[in-house]
Structure 1
Amino acid sequence: MIAGYFAVLVIIAVLTSRKATSESFFVANRNAPWYMVAFAMIGTSLSGVTFISVPGNVYGKSWSYLAVVLGYVAGYVVIGTVLLPLYYRLRLVSIYTYLEQRFGYWSYKTGALFFLISRALGSGLRLYLVAGVLQLAVFDKMGVPFAATVVVSILFIYLYTFKGGLKTILWTDTFQTLAMLSCVALSIYFISSELNLGFKQLVSTVRASSMSQVYFSNFSDDKFFWKQFVSGMFITIVMTGLDQDLMQKNLFWFTPVITMVMNMPETNCFQKNLSSLKFEKYT
């Protein structure tokens, strides 16, 4: 199954990398449907770490994590109404180019450097965790060394990304999102089957559990609802809206959508601060 999964990714890479150009590599020719980008972003924003860690978080802190998720929604509103229009008006490929135009060369380089460091560390930890799970669940029984698991995983990732660039990544992320959501649905199905619970019984059991509590009103508690909500909002703004890896996928929407976003009125002071910059609009 694992080999089949990677095989599908490689096939997608081969098909989408045909006649690849620098424009398709970096911005996917700026003609990606918005709904496809949005769906692919689900898989990009989440990872195997989320899949494994959130259930443990719920077990330890009840469902207070849902407040963080609701904060994510508020954060995405800020990204969609403040940051994306700015990025489109500047026609950015790297979002950190804005720092150069606004604050200078070294500000741009510093922002890009911190992104590279944080992305390398974050991706390394995610790969380590996922490879560790694969090692424990599958490859230990086959006698495959952990180092080999990591190297092969990196090799496959390289194979399906090195040629097609973002155009390929958009399609592979879409497939990965579909696979991940399917696994969530299958997990719920198998867990309910193991517990001999129908869907209604499963929902009732979750509601009756003390771990289903979402709202915590004690301000001094680290699970305080509004503390979690605000944290989630700023986490999304910083880790999505100011992250090149995540935002670059939003920079190659279908051109009419870009034009619509660029024509949004400058309704806040942050957007109006860009009025001194010269913008090139899409035609």
Structure 2
Amino acid sequence: MSAPDGEPVLRIGARDVARYAAGQDMAPTLSPRPYLHPVTTLDGVELTEILPEDHTHHYGVSNAVVEVNGTMFWGGKSYVHPTGYEMLDNHGRQVPVRTESGDHRIAEQLEWVDGAGAHVLTEQREILADLLPEHEAWALRWHSQLIADGGTDLALGSPATRGRVGAGYGGLFWRLSGENVLTTATVADGPDVDPLGNDTSPWLLLVQERSTGPVSLLLAQPRNSMLPWFVRTSGYVGAGPAVAWDAERSIAAGERLDLHLWAVLADRALTTAEATALYERLEQLA
């Protein structure tokens, strides 16, 4: 993996496993924001993609809250009830203010601004990478604090809060690569993942059958701050904790909201027993 000069790269030993891009060259209608891509397994299999034809605003792993006080940070069209999706002039962007990085850690302060450049909120972000040698895998942990420091309360929304049932997406989101690849999804309570995405579970296991062999992406979140999972395995593959699943989420002026997404990437098909053990390992790292 090669990275343009100055872009942070997470490494496990001698392996580059994730590149972090500032995203400021994204088209304004995509809600420019920093993102991770490519993110790979230890064997180099890419598990992210950007600019997919089906949803060009999906960018690897990113913090893509759909709406904050009317400003779009997900990118693309907005849901307008009851007519459907429309391209509105409401896109904001996340602007890096200060970035520190090393082989295993990226820490960044960002300013979220609306289309006119006015301050919406401040985010403090930390991304960590750890080798899990006993599992022949590696772990990625993303933690974002959204701080309502603009003097007003914040309301975070989604298409579901605008009237589209089952479309509560938005927040820390992982867009997987693998077009036309069989992907199975399992949660801690069993294999029957709700197609509408309102499972609340400490972990979500996605296994893909690639031409080079099976790969697994275990997504997880801390027990004390679990959100419903938004997950898609048909049409496209992507998942993440939904910050505004069926109702707006508020951040009072001066307060903050913590968002977490943990992941384990493995070059094999993980079993549910392994997923449970890996989740316990992630809790030890936290």
* TM-score, scaled relative to structure 1: 0.22
Relative to its length, the structure with more helix (as a share) is 1
Larger radius of gyration: 1
Relative to its length, the structure with more strand (as a share) is 2
